[in-house]
Amino acid sequence: MVLPVKVFEVKGEVSLDSVEEKLRGFHEEESYESEDGSKLSLSTDIFDLKREGELIKGTFSRDYLRRRQYKRKTLDAPVTEEAPFWISRFRGRTFLITSAPSVARGVKKLLTNHVANKISEIVYNKMGYIVEARIPSERLQRLHESNPQATKLIWFDDVDIPGVKKLALAGSGLADTGLYRDYLKHGKIWYVVFESQRRGIVVGITRNCVVTLFSKSTMEDFIKYIVEEVLSLVE
């Protein structure tokens, strides 16, 4: 099971009660006329909204048109994408967690970013109040060094060696402390894959707070892990 989610931070001042009220039952419709004159109605909706204490969860749904070639003609086919999302309070801050498990990998980032921007518009009437969460490389470094045996893979970016964009350590290379220290001198940790021994799951975490689950787990347990252990890493 490979399941990526992305974490954003809600920067605007607002209560969860207000967020829940503005998101509940949200529906927006847009009319579209295709080249053959047929008309379609494309909508954006919030479904299945639930409040559980300091957590709001729901499903973001968006219709769009996907262009396809058929017998030398360009056809517009309506498609619906859905992305589950969670909004959680943590230590006085508010975070949005969203995933797009039903779409192709290349589209996931676009959809999760769209969810963040659209929810910002719904709640604040403007984009920019929900931003990418960031984890400093030093915190990923401490995460690895607190239990090096649990680490499976480390990617380094911002490398100062000419012609080298990224460096990686995996397998036996992780046990080479000298090589690890040398890589730290030349780059910053971008991505760490490790086993959470407390939870018994393998996850990957990037500095821009994409968290990927590589083990079998329920979505509820995965989100609980993110809220309880990953959000504390955000700067």
CA dihedral 33, 38, 41, 42 (to 10 degrees): -60
In Å, what is the CA distance from 70 to each residue of 32, 35, 63, 64, 76?
20, 14, 21, 19, 10
* 8/162 Cα distance (integer angstroms): 33
Whole-number Å distance between alpha carbons of 83 and 98: 7
**Residue-wise pLDDT tens digits, 136-145:** 999 999 999 9
Residue-wise pLDDT for 19-32, tens only, equals 999 999 999 998 88
Backbone angles phi, psi at 88, to 5 degrees: -130, 145
pLDDT computed for residue 36 by the predictor: 64
Distance between CA 19 and CA 53 in Å, rounded? 13
For residues 85 and 57, is the Cβ–Cβ distance under 8 A?
yes
Chain centroid offset of residue 107 CA:
12
Who contacts 24 (Cβ-Cβ below 8 Å, separation ≥6)? 46, 49
pLDDT value of residue 102: 55
pLDDT digits (tens, 9 = 90+) for 109-133: 668 899 999 999 999 999 999 999 9
- Note the pLDDT tens digit of each residue in 75-109: 778 888 899 999 999 999 999 999 976 554 555 66
pLDDT at 130: 96
Alpha helices in the chain (DSSP H): 16-23, 105-124, 137-145, 177-186, 219-225
pLDDT per residue as tens digits for the range 153-204: 999 999 999 999 999 999 878 888 899 999 999 999 999 999 998 899 999 9
- ∠ CA 152-155-158, nearest 5°, is 165
Q: What residues are paired with 5 via a beta bridge?
A: 99, 211
Predicted structure pTM score: 0.90
pLDDT of residue 35: 65
